[in-house]
């Protein structure tokens, strides 16, 4: 079973927000739509749900056309469950009644809600009302409510955005296990790369209304298609450079070619963009062949240090480095990349 977006286009007035997007989400997998605000990911989700009317393209569910511009059924006519940022629970209904809302006419509704309450670990709170639950508990109830009618598709729009950061990771894991057990098609919108990496089986990176790259989390992390995808999916800096023999020339030093993990023949004569991830560079004493860099700021975050350097021309570079790195404001040092730690893209 699969949900297919086939050449989806959508405009808000004269503004194009989706540009011939084609994408497939499969049963038993969680597909994360990752991208910055305004890239079109929530619009795509709303088109699948029927909240927005399709303007161009087709949506196909298990080889049956679900929606076209000419035939676009409303949400209640689609086998789709929705989970929003704030859960959107009915405040006048108990936890149990919220879960049973979409199946209140079914004779087995008590068995279904009881099973889901056990799975989300809230059986003892079934008579409570939403206002007495924590944010994480409310969101678990919202997911259970969406699963109760046994939908073929679950659509989730930033479901963990309003959850306390300390509880967010645990909730992601709990919800992932629950969704995987249902074996349905799940699409989740997020702007948080860590969240997408943790919960998604596949990630579709969206930029400017189009799919920039789609693949497994590890493939997108280690082999991003562009500097923009690299920067969106992990922390890092982008600096310009060029190849010169066995070295890479940059404004912050000349570094060995072996520092680049994705070098291919043909990059040599080109200007390149280098993506530098946290912890890819080492601070070294200045030598006769290295470029002196002044340390102008050092900040401690607990698990890392943020170190700001300037080159002799005054250009700045901020780096995330390990907490064990020793340096002080006013020192002059140089940078050397670790082997195969940089990604190069033709600029």
Q: What is the pLDDT of residues 238-255, one digit of tens each?
A: 999 998 888 899 999 999
Determine which of 63-67, 101-105, 197-201, 256-260 has the lowest per-residue pLDDT on average: 101-105
Q: What is the pLDDT of residues 21-61, one digit of tens each?
A: 999 999 999 999 999 999 999 999 999 999 999 999 999 99
Whose tokens are 């086998």? That residue is 79
Which pLDDT score is estimated for 11? 96
Helices (H), the chain: 41-49, 95-100, 109-119, 135-147, 165-182, 193-199, 217-222, 227-233
Q: What is the pLDDT of residues 80-133, one digit of tens each?
A: 998 987 768 999 999 999 999 988 888 999 999 999 999 888 999 999 999 999
Other CB atoms within 10 Å distance of the CB of residue 279: 15
Domain 235-346 bears CATH identifier 2.40.50.140: yes
Which pLDDT score is estimated for 135? 87
pLDDT of 181 higher than 80? yes
Question: What's the order of all strands across the beta sheet hosting 253-256?
Answer: 253-256, 247-250, 237-244, 271-276, 342-346
Q: Which of 170-179, 237-246, 265-274, 304-313 has the highest mean pLDDT?
A: 304-313
Backbone angles phi, psi at 196, to 5 degrees: -60, -40
From the candidate CATH numbers 3.90.550.10, 3.40.50.2300, 3.40.30.10, 3.40.50.300, the one assigned to the domain spanning 2-231 = 3.40.50.300
Which pLDDT score is estimated for 329? 97
Q: pTM for the full model?
A: 0.89
Retrieve residue 248's tokens.
Answer: 């890479």
Q: What is the 3-state secondary structure (H, E, C) of 151-207?
A: CCEEEEECCCCCCCHHHHHHHHHHHHHHHHHHCCEEEEEECCHHHHHHHCCEEEEEE
Determine which of 195-199, 268-272, 278-282 has the lowest per-residue pLDDT on average: 268-272
So where are the chain's domains?
2-231, 235-346
Which pLDDT score is estimated for 87? 66
Range 123-130, long-range pairs (CB < 8 A, 24+ positions): 125/95, 126/94, 126/95, 126/96, 127/94, 127/95, 127/96, 128/94, 128/95, 129/91, 129/92, 129/93, 129/94, 129/95, 130/87, 130/89, 130/90, 130/91, 130/93, 130/95, 130/98
Which pLDDT score is estimated for 265? 74
Helix (H) or strand (E) holding 5: strand 2-12
Give the pLDDT band (50/70/90) at residue 269: low
Give the pLDDT band (50/70/90) at residue 165: confident
Which pLDDT score is estimated for 192? 92
Q: What is the pLDDT of residues 182-240, one digit of tens each?
A: 889 999 999 999 999 999 999 999 999 999 999 999 999 999 999 999 999 988 999 99
Other CB atoms within 10 Å distance of the CB of residue 84: 17
| Strand bridging mode 80-83 / 153-157 | parallel
The answer for residues whose C-beta is within 8 angstroms of residue 29's C-beta and 6 or more apart is 185, 186, 201, 202
How far, CA to CA in Å, does 297 sit from each of 255, 286, 294, 303, 326? 23, 18, 9, 17, 13
Q: What is the pLDDT of residues 288-338, one digit of tens each?
A: 989 999 999 999 988 889 999 999 999 999 998 888 898 999 999 999 999
Which pLDDT score is estimated for 293? 97
d(CA 51, CA 45): 9
């Amino acid at each position: 079973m699969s949900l297919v977006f086939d050449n989806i286009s959508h405009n808000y007035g004269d503004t194009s927000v989706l540009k011939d997007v084609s994408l497939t989400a499969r049963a038993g997998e969680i597909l994360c739509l990752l991208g910055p605000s305004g890239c079109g990911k929530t619009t795509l989700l709303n088109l699948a749900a029927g909240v927005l009317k399709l303007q161009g393209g087709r949506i196909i569910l298990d080889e049956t056309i679900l929606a076209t511009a000419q035939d676009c059924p409303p949400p209640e006519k689609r086998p789709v469950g929705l989970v929003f940022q704030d859960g959107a629970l009915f405040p006048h209904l108990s936890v149990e009644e919220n879960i049973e809302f979409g199946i209140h006419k079914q004779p087995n509704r008590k068995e279904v809600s009881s099973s889901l309450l056990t799975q989300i670990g809230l059986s003892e709170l079934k008579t409570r009302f939403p206002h007495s639950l924590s944010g994480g508990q409310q969101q678990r109830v919202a997911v259970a409510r969406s699963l109760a009618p046994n939908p073929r598709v679950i659509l989730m729009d930033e479901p963990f955005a309003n959850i306390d950061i300390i509880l967010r990771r645990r909730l992601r894991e709990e919800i992932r296990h629950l969704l995987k057990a249902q074996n349905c098609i799940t699409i989740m919108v997020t702007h948080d790369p860590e969240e997408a990496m943790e919960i998604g089986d596949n990630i579709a990176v969206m930029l400017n209304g189009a799919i920039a790259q789609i693949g497994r989390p590890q493939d997108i992390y280690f082999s991003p298609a562009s500097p923009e995808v690299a920067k969106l999916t992990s922390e890092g800096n982008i600096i310009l450079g060029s190849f010169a023999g066995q070295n890479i020339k940059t404004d912050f030093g000349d570094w060995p070619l072996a520092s680049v993990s994705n070098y291919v023949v043909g990059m040599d004569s080109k200007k390149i963009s280098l993506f530098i991830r946290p912890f890819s560079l080492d601070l070294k004493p200045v030598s006769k062949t290295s470029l002196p860099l002044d340390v102008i700021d050092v900040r401690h975050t607990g698990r890392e240090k943020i170190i700001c350097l300037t080159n002799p021309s005054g250009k700045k570079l901020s780096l995330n480095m390990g907490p064990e790195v020793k340096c002080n404001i006013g020192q002059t040092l140089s940078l050397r990349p670790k082997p195969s730690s940089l990604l190069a893209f033709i600029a």
